[in-house]
Amino acid sequence: MKTNRIKILSPGTVSKIAAGEVIDRPSSVLKELLENSLDADAKTINIDFSASGKELIRVNDDGSGVLADDIELSIKRHSTSKISDFSDLDKLNTFGFRGEALYSIAAVSKLTIKSLANKSNLAREIYAEGGKILKNSPAGHSQGTTVEVKDLFYNLPARKKFLKTDATERSRIIKTFEEYALSNTDVGFYIRSEGSEIYSLPAPKGDERKKLHSRIKSVYGEEISDNLNYVSDRFMDVKGFIGSINRFSTSKTIQFFFVNKRPVTSLVLVQALYRAMSSYLDRNSRAVSFIHFDLKPDTFDINIHPQKREIRFKDEGLIFSLVSRLVAQAMGAGFSAEEEKNTAVYYIRDKERPVERSLEIDSSIQPHSQHKAQDEMFKPFYRFLGQISQSYLLFETEKSLLVLDQHAAAERVLFEKYLGELDSKPQVQEFIVPVTVDITASQMENLMSNGNWLKNVGFEIERFGSNTISVVGTPVVFGFDDNQIKEFIFSLSQELSDAKEESETIRRQRLARLACKKSVKARRDITREEAVALLKNLHNCKHPNICPHGRPISFELGKSEISKKLGRGKVL
């Protein structure tokens, strides 16, 4: 038997192997280039490819561009403009900025990058083969970047052999394109193969809902898009479309999840959707979903394996209940009994396992023995019991009956959400058809003299005749419909006269308070789901005990008090 000597691989070989792991096929090149264009805030992205991406993939954008002095750096390993120090490591975990993509692509292809960062700069172009820069020269290029990847894996035959048929690689490229087009509705996406157009998707107009729907329609066609219902959530920043199709009409799974505008995969989401939809679907149908989450980086982790984007949520229970809430909304129905049982209890410490015990008041289990195991069973929890007068929510806690004013609680939650949004610069929702409101001349005076301030807090209004105001945009966070906008602007124009002398904080609070008033309905039925979510959200508020108008939000009736009233000596 011959024993081979151990050798150390040359740096060139190592880098090719590593690159082959990041970039395993043409579609992963496209994915990385699209991510970069989107990171650069491109508004239009043009893609050309030929021979299923093996000969050429070219991505052109009108984004922020690369500075002439940085262009060589962009293909060096671990070079990124997106994180700068350790405090940004969260961003690395969340978005996977590792400065590896261009480096890896360059290592296994013949790469040209042309870019113009801004007018004062000069456009520059580099050309590299196998990562080696062979040319760096002035170039002609408009604002933005063009990255051209030719002869992918020309120097890595093993990887090239591993590629699937042309048809498969081509369809992967197109699928990647579709995912990004579906999740970035503010961007125009265009793709051609061998010079002929596959998709031409200008950025759709309208509100968020219209934009999402129109993208789905232009990618999937009417059969799918006509059978979808819009869903959104009051407590989490989630929106999208859910529906179903007959299984025989397609063999593909049409279930998309997007987090912060990037396509993600998640077993939990797939399971949650499956479970929530199962009671609505017959054997021959399956769920269709396009769900967009806007999440804070500290609520999830992304597996930054280069080719995947598997997301893990910190609070999976929340995701399950959210998805069933969305599905119930889409299907226009209430909850199944099983769903109710699972969602009616809210444990304060999310990470702990739900307690397996009957929580009925007449339960024979009692907390007398101080046994540790039993102690465990009395973790703080809130169990939703029901609603009275369409206004008050009842919860059992471990020591009391909690009575919550639903309206006041919802106002508090929204109030803090609005304030939070107003503190940063609010995102404005612009209307294609402005909403007009008839007001008096004095109200007009109030509004126009506060025009700048209103603009700062997200309201775009214009005079439209002497007694009519035209509302062109409102803060997205308010989520008002036309009538709510009318009422809101009307009340605001009355209140503003008193507001002139107030401090900025007080003025904002006044605005947020008014917005809550318009958006929280007085009496309404509530699902268990919503009740539990409301309580949870309230617990996350800075001031969970008083409503924005100063009234108390809840009170508790101790179990000992209840026992006493009923003439019992000890607490059950």
Q: Is 145 in the site for ligand ADP (CB under 6 A)?
A: yes
Judged by beta carbon, residue 176 or residue 443, the one nearer ligand ADP is: 176
- Comparison of 181 and 236: residue with beta carbon closer to ligand ADP: 181
Q: Which of positions 24-53 make contact with ligand ADP (CB under 6 A)?
A: 32, 36-37, 39-40
Give the C-alpha separation, 223 to 129, whole Å.
46
Is residue 98 involved in binding ligand ADP (CB under 6 A)?
yes
Among 40, 42, 101, 319, binds Mg ion (CB under 5 A): 101
How far is residue 510 from each of residues 151, 451, 484, measured CA to CA in Å? 61, 16, 17
Give, for 486, the enclosing helix (H) or strand (E): helix 482-499
Contacted entry of ligand ADP, Mg ion, none for residue 275, CB cut-off 5 to 8 Å set by kind = none
By CB under 5 A, what part of segment 26-45 binds Mg ion?
A: 36
Half-sphere exposure in the Cβ direction for 572 (13 Å, CA): 14
Stretch that binds ligand ADP, among 57-65, 133-141, 158-166, 521-529 (CB under 6 A): 57-65
- Rule CB under 6 A: choose which of 44, 79, 391, 397 binds ligand ADP: 79
Q: At what angle do helices 528-539 and 406-423 cross, to 10 degrees?
A: 50
Strand arrangement, sheet containing 144-150 = 132-138, 124-129, 110-116, 144-150, 56-61, 44-50, 188-193, 196-201
The number of residues that bind ligand ADP (CB under 6 A) is 23
444 binds, among ligand ADP, Mg ion, none (CB under 5 to 8 A by kind): none
Residue 99 binds which of Mg ion, ligand ADP, none (CB < 5-8 A, kind-dependent): ligand ADP
Number of chain residues interacting with Mg ion (CB under 5 A): 2
Residue 98 interacts, among Mg ion, ligand ADP, none and using kind-specific CB cut-offs from 5 to 8 Å, with ligand ADP
Task: Kindly state whether residue 64 participates in binding ligand ADP, applying the rule CB under 6 A.
Answer: yes
Residue 65 in the binding site for ligand ADP (CB under 6 A): yes
- Minimum distance of ligand ADP from residue 34's CB (angstroms): 9
Characterize 391-404 residue by residue with b for buried, 16 or more Cβ atoms within 10 angstroms of its Cβ, and e for exposed: eebbbbbeebbbeb
Rounded to the nearest whole angstrom, what is the least distance from the CB of residue 39 to Mg ion in the complex? 6
Residue 514 Rama label (left phi>0; alpha psi -120 to 50; beta): alpha
Minimum CB separation from ligand ADP for residue 425, in Å?
Answer: 24
Can you list the alpha helix ranges (DSSP code H) found in 138-207?
157-162, 166-183
Among Mg ion, ligand ADP, none, the one that 61 touches (CB under a kind-dependent 5 to 8 A) is ligand ADP
Residues 448, 455 contacting (CB under 8 angstroms): no
Residues 163-222 that bind ligand ADP (CB under 6 A): none
Nearer to Mg ion, 93 or 329 (CB): 93
- 510 interface partner picked from Mg ion, ligand ADP, none, CB below 5 to 8 A per type: none
Burial class (CB in 10 A: 0-12, 13-18, 19+), 69: exposed
Structure tokens at 462: 């214009």
20 binds, among ligand ADP, Mg ion, none (CB under 5 to 8 A by kind): none
99 or 188, CB closer to Mg ion? 99
Question: Is residue 517 classed exposed, middle or buried when 0-12, 13-18 and 19+ CB atoms within 10 A define those classes?
Answer: middle
Q: Taking CB within 5 to 8 Å according to partner kind, which of ligand ADP, Mg ion, none is near residue 16?
A: none
* Sole window of 93-101, 203-211, 289-297, 483-491 interacting with Mg ion (rule: CB under 5 A): 93-101
- C-alpha closest to that of 107 among 128, 125, 124: 128
Q: Are strands 44-50 and 188-193 parallel, antiparallel or unpaired?
A: parallel
Alpha helices, DSSP H, located in 52-165: 89-95, 101-107, 157-162
Q: Which of ligand ADP, Mg ion, none does 527 bind, CB closer than 5 to 8 A by kind?
A: none
Q: Which is nearer to ligand ADP, 30 or 319 (CB)?
A: 30
Compare residues 42 and 413 and give the one whose CB is closer to ligand ADP: 42
Least distance in Å: CB of 330 to ligand ADP?
35
- Exactly one of 22, 28, 56, 61 binds ligand ADP (CB under 6 A); which one? 61
* Cα dihedral: 231, 234, 235, 239 (round 10): 30
Provide Rg for the chain, Cα atoms. 28
Region near Mg ion per CB under 5 A, out of 98-106, 111-119, 163-171, 508-516: 98-106
Helix (H, G, I), strand (E, B) or coil at 134: strand
Residues 6+ apart with CB under 8 A from 364: none
Instruction: Identify which of residues 84 and 369 has a Cβ nearer to Mg ion in the complex.
Output: 84
* Cα dihedral: 447, 448, 454, 459 (round 10): 80
The least CB distance from residue 13 to ligand ADP, in Å, is: 21
Nearer to ligand ADP among residue 101 and residue 437 (C-beta): 101
- C-alpha to C-alpha distance for 559 and 344, rounded to whole angstroms: 20
- Among ligand ADP, Mg ion, none, what does residue 66 contact (CB within 5–8 Å per kind)? ligand ADP
Selected binder of ligand ADP within 29, 30, 34, 66 (CB under 6 A): 66
Among 27, 80, 255, 443, which residue interacts with ligand ADP (rule: CB under 6 A)? 80
Distances (CA, A) of 528 to 279, 321, 330, 338, 533: 18, 10, 17, 12, 8
CB of 44 to ligand ADP, least distance (A): 12
DSSP 8-state class, residue 265: B
User: Which position's Cβ is nearest Mg ion?
Assistant: 101
Which residues pair with residue 557 across a beta bridge?
401
Q: What is the DSSP letter of 75?
A: G
* In the complex, least distance from residue 34 CB atom to Mg ion, rounded to whole angstroms: 9
**DSSP labels, 203-233:** PP-SSHHHHHHHHHHHHH-HHHHTTEEEEE-
- 74 lines the binding site for ligand ADP (CB under 6 A): yes
Residue reference for tokens 């894996």: 153
Distance of closest approach, residue 115 Cβ to Mg ion, in angstroms: 14
Binding ligand ADP (rule: CB under 6 A), the pick from 20, 53, 63, 548 is: 63
With residue 537 as reference, give the H or E element that holds it. helix 528-539
Binding residues for Mg ion, rule: CB under 5 A, are: 36, 101
Binding residues for ligand ADP, rule: CB under 6 A, are: 32, 36-37, 39-40, 61, 63-66, 74, 79-82, 97-103, 145
